[in-house]
Amino acid sequence: MCGKIWNPSFKRNSDGQMAILFALSLFPIALIAGFAVDFQVLTTNKSKAQSSIDSAVIAGTRAYQDGATKLEVQQTVRTYFTALISNGPFPLTCTLPAVVIDDTDVEATTSCTMDTFLAKIADIDTFEFDVETATTYGIGKVDVSFVFDVSGSMDGQRIADLKIAARDAVDTLLVEDPKPGHEDDIRISMVAYNGAFNAGDYFEAATGSSSSQSVNYYYNGRWYTYYYYSTCVFEREGSQAFTDAAPGPGQYIVKADVYRRDDCGDAEPLALTSSRQPLYDYITALGAEGNTAGHLGVAWGWYMISPAWSAVFPESAAPLAYDEPDSAKALILMTDGAFNTVGDSSNGNSTWQAKQLCDQAKAAGIRIYSVAFQAPEAGREVLQYCSSGSEFFFRPENGQQLQDAYQSIASSISDLRITL
């Protein structure tokens, strides 16, 4: 008969060996865990340092645009960076940024050190890293077109809110005392639409017809001629209906007829300008009435900044070429309603026409921002479609939010971009 022999000393030896092996394994485990923790902190600190120096250099370059000296710009960058870096979640020590400035760019570099936590067990007391960044003017020159809905639903508080928001946006876009040679870097055009569009001084060039019209009619056994004056227009027909082709034979804009000659209101287009006062005057004079032919707003907003229309406008207001170096074009659409009126229904409804125009404008390189101010779902849908992306679409529900939207758009247009 066989049986197992129990050896107490064998168990003691085995337990001791296991304890030793476990103890030996603790060091690499702790070392790996320590590096993991410290590298996570390092990643967080690098991100914090990069965003801080980015923000500081943007602040410095904005100050430079506004006329600050190079010494003042350098101090601005360092002050901003020091304030921002001190608010990080983990201790971090960085040198004052070295700042290099030229005519359009501000560059900055800094070296940072952070104390380790658990990596000290491997005699690694600190991690060091460098961060750098640079800004340049995001756009050297820009043509901006504001498109305002002045239909009847905008009357009262809504148009009052619009006037405040639009004026604030002008102040943000146009530097009060630009540097010599940069006075026309940003130019702004404004158009307003309701049930039709008032082409104003550009009526004859756009339609190929005089604004003084007449119509013959037969009444009570006799023929009469009725004379009237109108600068109201509707959409273009034919193959160029949804392009920015210059007006001309076969591609003129359709003029309003005797029955709808007053549907467009009083707001005539304001050609591109870098002067604040005519823009202020335009905004102040806005009134609300009529329906909402939103596609006309899109079309004329585009025409005002299209180089194809340069011959229509005064030489000083001629839009930049699409391929102008270091330039951009922006269209800012606004409505509080649904697009519900057309001049020629054979072109499709107003929403459909607006979308076709927006597609073509974006294809030409125009950045489209859109503001659906207390608009119904149909109005929101078409403006969201027209915008150049979700970050370019705004749907404010009150006056303050409208101001915030226009401020955000103005800042985006005049903002700087990180280049390094």
**Residues 298-317: tens digit of each pLDDT:** 999 999 999 999 999 999 99
Residues 282 and 308 occupy one common structural domain: yes
Sequence-separated (6 or more) residues with CB below 8 Å from residue 49: 85, 92, 94, 110, 112, 129, 131
**Do 97 and 125 belong to one domain?**
yes
Q: Which residue has the tokens 């030896």?
A: 13
Contact 171, 191 (CB under 8 A): no
Average pLDDT of 161-181?
90
Total tally of structural domains belonging to the chain? 2
Largest interatomic CA distance in the chain: 141
Say whether pLDDT at 233 is over 60: yes
Q: In sequence order, which residues have a C-beta less than 8 Å from that of residue 266 and are 6 or more positions away?
A: 198, 285, 287
Q: For residue 4, what pLDDT is reported?
A: 47
pLDDT at 121: 66
Q: At 213, list the tokens.
A: 């019209």
Instruction: Specify if 104 maps to a domain.
Output: yes
What pLDDT sits at residue 25? 47
What is the structure's pLDDT at 5? Answer: 47
Q: How far apart are CA 293 and CA 197, in angstroms?
A: 8
Which residues contact residue 417 at a Cβ distance below 8 angstroms, ignoring those fewer than 6 apart?
135, 136, 138
Tell me the pLDDT tens digit for each residue of 345-397.
789 999 999 999 999 999 999 999 999 999 999 999 999 999 999 989 999 99
pLDDT at site 37: 72
pLDDT at 122: 64
The residue with greater pLDDT, 260 or 192, is 192
Q: Which of the residue ranges 18-22, 32-36, 292-296, 341-345 would you say has the lowest mean pLDDT?
A: 18-22
Same domain, 188 and 128: no
Q: Which whole number is the average pLDDT over 219-239?
A: 93
Q: Of 137, 165, 184, which residue sits at a domain end?
A: 137
pLDDT at 411: 84
Q: Could you tell me if 339 and 414 lie in one domain? A: yes
Average pLDDT over residues 64-85: 88
The larger pLDDT score, comparing residue 204 to residue 258, is at: 204
- Is residue 83 one of the residues assigned to a domain? yes
Q: Do residues 98 and 207 both lie within one domain?
A: no
**Could you tell me the residue range of the domain that residue 376 belongs to?**
141-418
Both 209 and 320 in a single domain?
Answer: yes
**What's the CA gap between 402 and 157, in Å, rounded?**
12
Assess whether pLDDT exceeds 80 at residue 106: yes
167-190: average pLDDT: 89
CA distance 298 to 354: 6
pLDDT computed for residue 362 by the predictor: 97
Query: Quick one: 85 and 62 in the same domain?
Result: yes
The answer to whether the CB of 343 falls within 8 A of the CB of 254 is yes
- The CA R_g of the chain, rounded to the nearest whole Å, is 32
**Domain final residue, candidates 137, 157, 189:** 137
pTM of model > 0.85: no
User: Residue 3 falls within a domain, yes or no?
Assistant: no
Check whether residue 101 and residue 214 sit in a common domain.
Answer: no
Domain termination residue (choose one: 137, 160, 189): 137
Displacement of CA 348 from its chain's centroid (Å): 29
User: Is 76 part of a structural domain of the chain?
Assistant: yes
Residues 181 and 253 in one domain: yes
Task: Transcribe 384-418 into DSSP letters.
Answer: HHHSSSGGGEE---SHHHHHHHHHHHHHHHH-EEE
Compute the mean pLDDT over every residue in the chain, rounded to the nearest whole number.
Answer: 87
Query: Residue range 162-174: average pLDDT?
Result: 95
